Structure 1
């Protein structure tokens, strides 16, 4: 004799089956998340370009929104989770490479381009080799890393070194992270200036590097002011130092106090060492960011003392 369950009981069992199915799908989604958000993908960072920062933050949700809508049509709320995860990967792919990949390429290209710029005037001087080794020591590289840096420096000196191609690859990995591009350019300027006078050929090569990474001439001049630092002593030197301080902050002497403060806060945020490392700057190069923040702070304090504001 067949027996029929009450309608309420059947409804509860149907909901239970649905919940079990949803739970299974959720667990599968979690597994997918664990796969696609592996260390290689999980390290990817949002764009941090200055002019496109706010725009980039909003754009990063476009892929998630599209994926979520598609998932909702396909499989309901849990499908939305799957869709958002897929959309998240799309967003990250549009935002540049992973921090791990950026760090590797940043390290290699740093020393290759350093060798290329050193050789651009025909020969690499002893001073240029000495400065390159000093930079390596300042980064506290391991012996293995030093050997790798030397190999990349030597590769960069080759006549057929693909400068544009390597810079293009780095620019693609960096995405919109203008802070990393400026850090790269700063290292190249440190090497060039540290070795002596920067001639026309080297200056043109440095501009090619900056331009390939989206760094403007104004930014290049600002970075050079940071690298050269400030000269102390004497009234004339104080005037020059004050002028350099304005260049470091990227403002003119006619800027208001509020404009000076805004420029200072923006630069300190851009060059925060921890943020740069999180975005892909090799930890061995954290000294670059620390030098920048020191020079920016020094410039701000000098202007503040001259103007008398707090």
Structure 2
């Protein structure tokens, strides 16, 4: 029996009306397997945030559903049950802060600017911009989640710069540096961020395999930022 099938069998019909019951049940169903419990709890919480993110502007667009599927590769055996969870959670945006708090509690460090929680924010941005524009309500949603995650303003600005750049990418904002930063420091910062974003590092900090696609997107943004700065410095 698949993981989510076990979960739904335990919850029964209550899962059709109360998503909170799903989250609570994870800790009971997988009590004897802490690693599986953590992975399933993380996945359930992120499914909830992703669905509620898509609903934040009032419409769940097909592009947003596909974007969710891009970063959450679902085994065929789990597809029906994951769809049930997603559809249940997307009914409205009420209660998303509860799931954000649960995801935040899964960060092993317990400190601000947790790398794993930054991965989750990248996923939410990926979904928000799937229909071609990040709506104000979606941005407010993500910003509030970031506050719950204890992502400080400076750190959030760097994450935001990777995803929102209507006037063109600001390479220094992506790297979190001032334009006057010496190139040696730019190179050092780029290498640090690239190392943190490597898929192996994501695995090491407990990010499920489904979300490793985000590492490639982040690396692309970092590479572009560094390339723009390098070319500008060489031309100067």
TM-score bracket, shorter-length normalisation: 0.7 to 0.9
Q: TM-score, normalised by structure 1?
A: 0.57
Distance 1:278 1:204, change over 3 A: same
Displacement over 6 Å in runs of 4+: none
Q: Which residue of 2 aligns with 1:21?
A: none
Shift of 1:138: 5.3
Q: Which residue of 2 aligns with 1:154?
A: 87
Structure with higher Rg: it is: 1
Give the 3-state SS of the residue equivalent to 1:308 in structure 2: helix
C-alpha contact 2:55 2:93 (8 A) present in aligned 1: no
For structure 1, which segment, 217-226 or 270-279, has the greater mean C-alpha deviation from structure 2 after superposition? 217-226
Residue 142 (structure 1) aligns with? 75
Name structure 2 gaps, 5 residues minimum. Answer: 1-33
After superposition, where does 1:9-158 map in structure 2 within 5 Å? 100-121=36-57, 123-125=58-60, 127=61, 129-137=62-70, 139-158=72-91
TM-score where L is the length of structure 2: 0.73
Instruction: Please give the residue correspondences for 1:197-216 in structure 2 after superposition, counting only pairs within 5 Å.
Output: 197-216=133-152
Q: Which has the higher helix share?
A: 1
Is there any run of 5+ residues in structure 1 with no aligned partner, and where? 1-97, 232-236
- Provide closer, same or farther for how the CA distance between residues 307 and 148 of structure 1 changes in structure 2, counting only shifts above 3 A: farther
CA deviation map 1:52-87 (0-9, x unaligned): xxxxxxxxxxxxxxxxxxxxxxxxxxxxxxxxxxxx
Q: CA offset at residue 214 of structure 1?
A: 1.6
Aligned to 1:299: 225
Contact between 2:46 and 2:103, CA under 8 Å: does it hold in 1? Answer: no
**2:101 counterpart of 1:175:** no
- In the TM superposition, what is the alpha-carbon distance from 1:191 to its structure 2 partner? 0.6
Structural RMSD (CA): 2.6
Which residue number corresponds to residue 193 of structure 2? 267
Distance 1:112 1:192 in 2: 14
Which residue in the other structure is 2:177 paired with?
Answer: 251
The corresponding residue for 2:208 is: 282
Residue 185 of structure 1, CA deviation:
0.3
How far off is 1:137 after superposition?
Answer: 4.0
Deviations 1:6-56 (A, max 9, x none): xxxxxxxxxxxxxxxxxxxxxxxxxxxxxxxxxxxxxxxxxxxxxxxxxxx
Deviates more, 1:254-263 or 1:277-286: 254-263
Mapped contact 2:45–2:102 kept (Cα < 8 A): no
